[in-house]
Structure 1
Amino acid sequence: MTHRKARTSLQLSCRFASRTLAIATFAFAACAGMSGAALAQTSTATRDDTPQIDSAIANKDWNAALTQLDARIASNPRDVQAKFKRATVLARLNRDDDAIAAFTEITQAYPELPEPYNNLAALYAKKGRYEDARAALETAVKANPGYALAYDNLGDLYLRLASESYKRAQSLGSKSPLTSQRITAIQNIYTPPKKRAGAADGASGAGAAVAPRTAADEWAPASGPVSPAMPAPDEFSPFGGPTGPLPTTPYVAPKAQP
């Protein structure tokens, strides 16, 4: 099978799609019968049969997962699913430069896959490389116009860029009251102000408002309950905060051929 034939367009999984911090597995299924809007072409694919690796990831045993993934890729050098998992595990180990290199390699080999661009954007944003993050997300939505997660993250990133621009204007002497109002408005999207005491909801006292964006604490191979994770009030950043959340989601990917 040629390299071109190995590629395929994607369809988002019906599983829970977290905006942040979800280690991805690749949910393989037969692509026949999917809508034309989701797939430019169809192919059959089988589930990535790496249960031990998935178990290590689910248990946050990143070093063990990395060792197993290295072995998997050595014996299956065209297994793009294993390469994606490996790149994500590298990010979990805070080996961001290595993760960026790994995701970049995937985008070069499979430019039609939006998820690697999405994770690249998260890593770039973590490093403050917002223009690179924007370029990656814009490429993701061009690769798959139906990839809602990238649009969500692109919106978050635009807010961050807007906030940085307004702050830059202030530092250059802008006296416009609208500048301060807009900075505050953007900040409140992520960290709403505390409720006023005696609010009409009948709550006793003032309580801290819940951040509007939640995240799955971890990916697990099987569907199940998730633990919400909120960005701290001082951690205004796209993708749920600067602690390294990676917005990913399961998807149908090309099956590697030996």
Structure 2
Amino acid sequence: MRARRLFAAASVAALAVLSLAACGRSAPDVAAYVGDTRYSVDRVDEIYNDAQTQYADAVQSQRAQTGATPAPEELRSSVTRQDVLNLLVAVDLGKRLLAEKDIQAPDEVSPEQLQAQLQMPASAEYAKLWGEWVDISSALQEKLPPADLSDDAVMAVYHAIEKTGAIKSGLSVAQVREAFGEGGFVRSATALSSALREEAEKVDASINPKYGPIGVPSVVSTGQSLVFYSLPYINHDGPVTDISTPEAPQTTGAVAP
């Protein structure tokens, strides 16, 4: 089944963060601009709040069956507003790439397939966005020529997975390369990352500085479970560490409205 192959090949690309410095593209109520499309802060909050509400309802329903009362912290999903914005931007840029390259992304991965390990009800828009993104990113990775491996790129993927606790920490480059085998998912991730970065630049994408560095949502299979995570931007040589949310420009006088 193709859906299983999608999980085995990690979608681990990431984007550079772009500033809202362009004239007319710095509205505080806009979370991100992607071409002519605006994603409002309210839109991000809406998806985030829906995810938290549906997660809490699911936990309460499950605990009610055993007569247990969940603690307040147990009713909070680990999903963040940053995670939501990452998905919105990635899906938008991914769709643009599909159209430009005339690539079809079959609708094969459903929220129902992801909900258990994503720990999010399939009815939540957050889960639906994840299902859409897995299809998009996998279709692109299958068509883009794989990038060359580098130690920096391999270790960037490793450190991102390491943060989730899904892989042993403190491994050397040699040990990571051995664990990753041929590293096919790192090659395809780097190629996708580069394509997304170029598309972001082409459409003049920009991110509100209130959010952190944009990363493309990523998923990899350990063989027993799925690991969901996000990477900083990676180019063909490795992670770019000097691309981040820009500081606000300094002013010496009154600011024009």
TM-score (normalizing by structure 1) = 0.25
Bigger share in strand: 2
- Which of the two has higher C-alpha Rg? 1
TM-score (normalizing by structure 2) = 0.25
